[in-house]
Structures are given as C-alpha cells and as structure tokens.
Amino acid sequence: MAERLEQEGFEVVVTIVPEEVCDNRVMMKDFRKIEEDLQNIDAILTLSCGLGVASIIQVLSRKHSDIPVFISNNTEFMGMTERIGRFYMRCRGCGDCLLNETGGICPITTCAKSLMNGPCGGMVRGKCEVGNYENDCGWVLIFNRLKELGRLDLFTKLRDPVDWSESGHQREVVWR
C-alpha cells in the first residue's frame, strides 16, 4: 500500500504492521516505536477493520488526538480489547462504514439507537437516556471528535437511516 500511495504522489513517512491492531496494549507499544515519526504526519491510513480505527484513535488520544485516522477498506461484534476481560464493541461490521465521516467513531455502535444524524431528544448533558443516563451519547462523542479534527462540516451532513433489512443475515469469512 505504501508503494501505491507514493505512486499516487503521497509521502509515506512511516509504516508499521502491528501484531494485533485491536489490542490497545499492543498498539501503544508499537506507536512508542514511531513516536518521533508521529510528529511529522498529517494522517494515518489503516488497512484494518473499523475496530482498528477505534483502537488507533484511542491510543493516539493521549498525545496525538489531532491526527485523523482513515480506513482503507469496508468492515464486514468485533470486540476492542482494553485489557484482559474488558472488551468494547466499536464496530458492528455492517458493511456500510461511515468512520471517515464521523471522525472514526461508529454511530451504529456508540449510539444506543444507531441514529445516523446527531443526538436525539433523549440526550441530557452528554449522556444517553438508554441506560438511565449512565453512558455517553455516541453523537456527542462524534461531535467532540470532529470538532477536535476541525471537521464539524461533517457533523451537519444529512445521512439516510440505516436499512436494517440487509443486516440480519449470517456472514462468514473462509480463508482456506
């Protein structure tokens, strides 16, 4: 991919192949190795699933939250590992990836109602009515991320509701 990007006129500052992109512990270790390179990049392109984008954003949030992360492919419950025994669903594998429009945060998994166009009327002080206001509103998270990236123009983009008629079928990936 680096070679292809360079052929298209992009400057590739650094490449890494993490052992496990969805494990924050591994990603922190890998990103420490390229800390100096991170000072000189405009964006990150990942060949991971949507879960990898979420993990990279979380790891970068400590020192480099202003770096946008772009996904190169469409993800087809992946669980992001925070630590042993604690996993979070950050990508549903719906096949209709919006991460490039929502700052790398999936509205389908972070919004309890999977809304596509901002917070509903049940949000109070950044918390969601689903779950008795204990969970963060997914769209507030998306708004804050887009604001941090200077891309609030994406927040006001009107999106069609999710067509759930195609999402209920079983899927599998066979490599052999």
Give per-residue pLDDT as tens, 61-115: 888 989 999 998 877 666 677 777 777 778 877 778 899 999 999 999 899 999 9
- The structure's pTM equals 0.64
The residues, ordered by sequence, that sit 6+ positions from 82 with a Cβ below 8 Å of its Cβ are 24, 88
Query: Exposure of 85 by Cβ count < 10 A (0-12 exposed, 13-18 middle, 19+ buried)?
Result: exposed
pLDDT in tens, 84-94: 777 777 887 77
CA 93 – CA 59 distance, rounded (Å): 21
CA 159 – CA 162 distance, rounded (Å): 9
Across the range 31-50, mean pLDDT stands at 91
Token couple for 63? 């020192």
**Considering the chain, what percentage of its residues have pLDDT values greater than 70?**
91
Q: Which residue, 103, 85, 96, is CA-closest to 139?
A: 103
| pLDDT at residue 105 in the model | 95
pLDDT in tens, 127-142: 999 999 999 999 999 9
